Structure 1
Amino acid sequence: MSLRKKNEKESLDCNSDLLVYRAIKNETFESENITRDRFFVSLSRVQDSPSYEPSQILMAPYGFYSGRPIIGQCTPIRGGIYLSAAPREAIVIDERYGVLEEIFQSLYTYYQGFPDAKKAIRENVLTDIFVLVQERIRFDPDRLYQYLRRKEIKVDQKIALDIIIELGFGAARHQVLLAAYLLERFKNLGMLRGTFRINSESTHPSLEDEQLLYTSSSGYTSLLDPLSNSKINKQEMASKPLAPTANIRASGLDDIVLH
């Protein structure tokens, strides 16, 4: 976990959420110092897919994929689908499968044991969530890649975030999405006054460097940066291809990979 706090106020720039349709094109990196908009890149990759449907509504400015609103930097998380800029699985955030709801309820119940639950949440929940996501989803992208290959998960095939949580390991995108989901739940209950977003900027060649930024009501910004916090060789982490076809043969939560 990497936390960054600033004294100056930072406002969320969500203009790209509304302007993303102005020009979608493919871009290439020549060095890892070039900054790309991860959501722009992901839309460039799926814009011609029959599963993609454009939209101009405020709640789904990036459009829909397989009937679900695409998650962007300032969009709702619950019920959405996250498309990686790198050619990876499509991650569904849907609490009906039980794991996400169980995690939230466990954390919410924990805070009810405090004399002032709302105060305890505002003072502690951000750090607690950042620690929790790293415990529930260990940062191990290579192991995840092997799992996806073994299950023959193809690019942009839907897989519930619950699956990754149950596996116990994943990549930056999974930690960030779980943290965003939990923050959104507490914020929707009126227990948090701050704002959060998934950082749209990507500087790593693999495009797998998702970050979550949370800005408190007083202007302090905290950063969840799984890749920078990891001990892997970041120079060698490459974007590896997934299997071109899917052939899921498993039980339990694996049965809801496709839905």
Structure 2
Amino acid sequence: MIIEMFLAALIGGAIGVAELVARYRDKPVAALLSPGGLLFALVNTGASVVALIAVTAAGWRFGLPYTMPPTALLVVHVIAAGLGSAAVLRMSFAPAQTSTPGTGPIALLNGILRIADGELERKRALSRLSHNDLADLSFERDHAALAELCCHLLREFDLAEAQRLGGLAAELSARDDLTDADKLDCWGLELTRLVGERALRQAARRLRDRPQEERRPAEDERLASVAAEPDPPAEPASVPPPRPPLGKTSRLAPHANGRSERKSFSDV
């Protein structure tokens, strides 16, 4: 029975560890060794052992025939206890037509994850602020290139993460009460949460070592001459000459001999 309990605990613990690693991709080892991470793994392993004891005590055979060897039945019990306990712990109950989060065993895991989140956030902020990995960089000039480098390091990038980064960049750019260094620190903390400190450090080093493009002297002289050249005076708008007034034409035009003659047959 001890071996079966160990195997069931191993399955439940592996599921908990995999969830922690997927959640804290930048520092998975620190997340596992934190008090919140250890408590999360302990709850998953304990639930698997309790589920195995309950299944064995109830004598459930899961539809297997009685001719099945006892070893095969124990294997089924171990797998059912490990996977079933993980499924039960992540169950949530909520009304069907409401958007409020549900309650249930998932609330216990969410509370433990919030504890781990707080611990990891404090460690990450302390480690980030104790090193100046983004020296000689500027938020206004380098935040887009830095984000592109960090995002392309990931094989799969979540759309929600991209939207959150875009919203943060727009918010920091619109803030006038923060200096460029403050904005760069906030941006670095967000990228550290995404890719980790080592990847951010390497991306910043690549941007720092990249040579800055300098304009050629000829182009500088041309731009300076264009800027120094005064604008030509505006020519006065030409006013068209006034049109002569239209006089009323008479149907009878004077003749050269002093007589008047008709101009058309319609005057008859």
TM-score scaled by length of structure 1: 0.22
Higher helix proportion (structure 1 or 2): 2
Higher RCO (C-alpha under 8 Å, 6+ residues apart): 1
TM-score scaled by length of structure 2: 0.21
Larger radius of gyration: 2
Higher strand proportion (structure 1 or 2): 1
